[in-house]
Structure 1
């Protein structure tokens, strides 16, 4: 909007300066400027009395979080709002009382999407309530949704989209439009926070306005996703025996001097590098010099084209969003045909298991420079791994257990980016960019006397090594029962000697194992659970907390079904009652999952 001298108190020189400045300001800068100008004006006594009478707004932040990202953002934005003198209530969606919904006037929802477009575990009951017949009219509600997701999945940010639509259907008014975040969410989340703040301030200009810099500081304090710590690798060991079909790395990292702390149940984020062989093959298909400079982020950091592909950009995953962006820069008619609505199934099949090298060989390159080529690529995301150590037992260290991924697809050998990075190219003494991802949804009971049941096949056993180390250090008296499964007893029994020592000491009360390839009929952890159904149900009735870690699509669902069958059979309940029993456990935080 241009200022005109005839309609404003500014002379021509002042108007020209403002006309040149305003279009260049970010949302955060406009927030600061509006607060600065408002603070310089004196309010009338009547205005001050009206503000005092109204009091600061009550803001409710609800989070749905599986790994802790949404919870972390909720806490950080809550801090920013409190610094702006708002009253803030932060709740897990599990803890929302349905009859309180009509009392909420300002609601901020921060949620991830789990699995195939499903709500995270701690959002299931709230999602079901809000989409059910008992959901109330919310005509007085002002809301905004921040949705976290991964664009490589078909149902990107689905849970956030559903909450956004449903709240509007119930009569709520959008305080600020929904924002959908990809895996590299920090800048997008900060923009949403600034936008929500600005919208709040339009209703209430008497409160001090926080600058965009302060918002960014709240997000990026100390070592974090956007400011990772360079941790020295202390050990990198293959846990599997010779002849195994698998390769599982036990990696120990030094946190000395970092100030980073963690609890059992938390995760480590590791930023990997792409395989140099794949990067060089990609460059061979392109026309640009590997030394061409490219700017890789908003801060203006410049890397060579090769280094950018090696350490900054994701090149191993194809998504529909990426292909759509490429199509805007490409003249390939076959690509446009692939993206036509009639070819949605064909597109989905094409994307599965292919990478950027496949795409370029099939549809050619795009852009007129290396800079334009990388402009559509997203930043390589960190990979999260469950921590397999206790800080009490291993001061200044953090351990992770990583299953190396290698497979063949579409005529080429493929590999997991981070797992093979750690397995093949990381040596003791090297430095890895890491951060701690806190996860409040996967924590040991506050009472150390509470019995715990742990189900973790394969690398899913990692957090339970941390649980047991922690309980040993604390002298916890609560019973513990571990179910572990893998392919072969001889080559794949991860941390076998450690479990044996814990059993001998009585720290670990019981352990049942299932090695699926050692028997004619495959036996998995859920089969071992069913074999011990009476005792398992007795532990549940004694108040035991259940923890499940590992593959979501198969293992976690099979284990969940096994629990329902056990409760139904041993508790003399209907299936509906058994499902309600588990739901109640979940609400009591006695049924927690870390699944992927």
Structure 2
């Protein structure tokens, strides 16, 4: 690299020559870093000359403001993507920032933070995502972290069809204010079609920080450059995403419950071909499904809309309404926005009364499909009116039930059909009906991988694991054992599984029996709720085998729970606390603290939905 001649230099020619010699081997990134380093060092100079190196470093540490913390509290990956976008734009704007997952963040560190931006999703009954449970508990605990010097802003992601819409974001926002932190600006809540609202919040936040952080941006330049030099950029080998899914061919669509079972559960295998897609046990598979054409035609008939009429979607695309209803609009999950909007159009008094009563409205949408609303209160609509009442279709997530160490270029999932009757009409879940009833081997489906960094096997293959699941919650544990078996990992494996009937609902029965025979599955406990008069569930098995459970925990076992969030997971946690308290001789509060320590150290992980 050559440098242009300079005149009037404040250094002599020999020094310049030596400097140019040392710079000649640097690449552009190293040169940029050195520029920032030298600038920052120059700011530590006083009028009398250079400050000694050690003193300059100390002063720099004291005077440079800590970077902005972007905290991601994500369940399905949406909040993580928004947080990543925010951090990328902060970096591009020159604002020093750090992105961390709530699952990897110790709550006590909040006391040392200066400014935190929280992107939080909500799961279950208004609960924070799994990775943010410890942070949430710490803030609402008896000894919350000191945050009076903290400034913050919150973006909430949720689903307005649930009563506690964006509750986790609301909790973080209100609690930080109660504890004395300073809110930068009002919280923003996003529905399932979150992208536009989230983008607007990101742009507003970056603009505010650029304006108010200008004094710190230059001082942080060297630190940011060091980070860029030391940390290798992430390589995103995954070229297929939620926005650009992979079209996979179904290899197998097999029912794995008996003909007498009350459930229709399918095992589906997808061919990944030469896509290069990689995943790990614990990840989820996103499926872009298509709505049932028969349901679409029923909706069109109830509203008097011609399926060939064009509509404009929220993203600006213009499509025929029937095609849009099949491929782009949500018609299997009712929402408060739909009922309120339709009530205003129809001026039906019963719907207007419902819309005014939030509790009654939530009960109504939980049991009344959109199609039923339209048939009970018939109203001619324009195609655009119908389109505007509906929110965009979103993919469904399924726990991956396979390990690539075993199945290679395939990915497997376990899907239970959602089916119910209303007004003498049978309805099915959007994705489960699509996968279980309308597709077969040879058909194609748009899919993508959603990584789950906080539902992972232990790094040490000798660490024992306890897997607790009910129904299709067994899926990720099949993946866990496939990997451990393929790699001959020696850690003990205990499966605690529950379903309705041993004869009809023992999912992957032969596989588990083979694993037990080979002693790869070293211990197992099954709870069949309907095989006897008394209902037995997985939490009852935990209590029955509490002594052994405690022994496994004392040996360093990792706990995993997968399944229903609202009932099973809560009952399991209550049973775990009871076992920890009784077997460990701990008080209720100490048992809760023990379980929380397991969660913070990633020894207690849940994949609940």
TM-score relative to the length of structure 1: 0.84
Distance 2:182 2:588 in 1: 39
Name the structure 1 match of 2:21. none
Deviation track 1:272-324 (CA, whole Å, cap 9, x = no partner) reads: 112221111111112221111112242x3222111111121111222223323
Residue 354 (structure 1) aligned with residue 368 (structure 2): yes
Equivalent position SS for 1:582? helix
- Work out which of the residue numbers 131, 150, 163 in structure 2 matches 1:141: 150
- Counterpart secondary structure, 1:62: strand
How far apart are residue 443 of structure 1 and its match? 0.8
By how many angstroms is 1:238 displaced? 0.5
**Which shifted more, 326-335 or 570-579?**
326-335
Alignment-derived partner of residue 87 in structure 2: 78
Say whether the 8 Å CA contact 1:68–1:440 is kept in structure 2. no
Are the equivalent residues in 2 in contact too, given 1:176–1:199 (CA < 8 A)? no
The 3 A distance-change label for structure 1 pair 204 and 594 is: same
Go from structure 1 to structure 2 and tell me whether the alpha carbon gap of 1:189 and 1:255 turns closer, same or farther (over 3 Å shift).
farther
Secondary structure of 2:155 counterpart: strand
Partners of 1:472 and 1:221 lie apart in 2 by 26
How far 1:379 moved relative to its partner?
0.9
Give the Cα separation in 2 of the matches to 1:201 and 1:74. Answer: 17
Structure 1 gap segments, 5+ residues each: 1-45, 209-217
Q: 1:280 aligns with which of 264, 272, 297?
A: 297
User: Residue 418 of structure 2 contacts residue 428 of structure 2 at CA under 8 Å; is this kept in 1?
Assistant: yes
Instruction: State which of 426, 430, 439 in structure 1 corresponds to 2:452.
Output: 439
Structure 1, residues 417-464: CA drift from partner, whole Å, max 9, x if none? 111111111121211111111111211111111100001121100000
Q: Which residue of structure 2 lines up, in the alignment, with residue 571 of structure 1?
A: 584
**Residues in 1 aligned to 2:580 and 2:195: alpha-carbon distance in whole angstroms:** 42
For residue 69 of structure 1, report the CA deviation from its aligned partner.
3.4
Report the Cα offset of residue 149 of structure 1.
0.9
The residue aligned with 1:337 is: 353
Out of 274, 287, 290, the residue aligned to residue 270 of structure 1 is 287
The worse-fitting range, judged by mean Cα deviation, of 78-87 and 193-202 is 78-87
SS at 1:227's partner residue?
coil
- CA shift digits 1:167-189 (9 cap, x unpaired): 34444444454222222333333
Q: Quick check: 1:448 aligned with 2:433?
A: no
CA contact (8 A) 1:76 1:219 kept: no
State the Cα distance separating 1:404 from its structure 2 match.
Answer: 0.9
Measured after TM superposition, the shift of residue 97 of structure 1 is 4.1
Rg: which structure is higher?
2
Q: 1:463 is matched with which residue?
A: 476
Q: Counterpart in 2 of 1:125?
A: 134
Once the two structures are superposed, residues 543-565 of structure 1 have per-residue CA deviations (whole angstroms, 9 ceiling, x without a partner) of: 10000101122221221122122
Work out which of the residue numbers 241, 248, 255 in structure 2 matches 1:231. 248
Q: Secondary structure at the match of 1:511?
A: strand
Contact 2:287 2:446 in 1 (8 A): yes
Distance across 2 between alignment mates of 1:574 and 1:57: 39
Which residue of 2 is the match for residue 424 of structure 1?
437
Contact persistence 1:272–1:418 (CA under 8 A) = yes
The separation in 1 between residues aligned to 2:278 and 2:127, in whole angstroms, is 31
Question: Counterpart in 2 of 1:89?
Answer: 98
1:194 matched residue in structure 2: 203
> Equivalent residue for 1:116?
125
Stretch moving more, 156-165 or 176-185:
176-185
Aligned length: 539
CA contact (8 A) 1:317 1:354 kept: no
Q: Quick one: distance in 1 between partners of 2:109 and 2:164?
A: 30
Please say if residues 66 and 441 of structure 1, whose CA atoms lie closer than 8 Å, have aligned partners that are also in contact. Answer: no
Q: 1:284 to 1:224 in 2, by over 3 A?
A: same
CA distance in structure 2 between the aligned counterparts of 1:363 and 1:496, rounded to whole angstroms: 47
Q: What RMSD over aligned residues (CA atoms) do the two structures have, in Å?
A: 2.9
Whole-angstrom CA distance in 1 between matches of 2:188 and 2:43: 33
- Contact preservation (8 Å) 1:456, 1:484: yes
- 5+ residue gaps, structure 2, are 1-38, 46-59, 222-234
Q: What displacement does 1:332 show?
A: 3.7
1:393 aligns with 2:406: yes
Cα separation, 2, equivalents of 1:258 and 1:191 = 34
Distance 1:220 1:167 in 2: 38
Change over 3 Å in CA distance of 1:178–1:459 after alignment to 2? same
Report how far residue 192 of structure 1 moved: 2.3
Q: Provide the C-alpha distance between the structure 2 equivalents of 1:520 and 1:243, rounded to a whole number of angstroms.
A: 19
Contact 1:450 1:543 in 2 (8 A): yes
Q: Secondary structure at the match of 1:183?
A: coil
Distance 1:219 1:82, change over 3 A: farther
Structure 1, residues 38-62: CA drift from partner, whole Å, max 9, x if none? Answer: xxxxxxxx99977998768611122
The counterpart of 1:532, out of the listed 545, 555, 563, is 545
- Looking at structure 2, the residues matched to 135 and 568 of structure 1 have their Cα atoms a distance apart, in angstroms, of 23
Q: Is the contact between residue 546 and residue 579 of structure 2 (CA under 8 Å) also seen in structure 1?
A: yes
Residue aligning to 1:314: 330
Q: Decide whether the 8 Å contact of 2:148 with 2:180 is kept in 1.
A: yes
**Contact between 1:235 and 1:428, CA under 8 Å: does it hold in 2?**
yes
Q: Judging changes above 3 Å, is the alpha-carbon distance between structure 1 residues 582 and 122 closer, same or farther for their aligned structure 2 residues? A: same
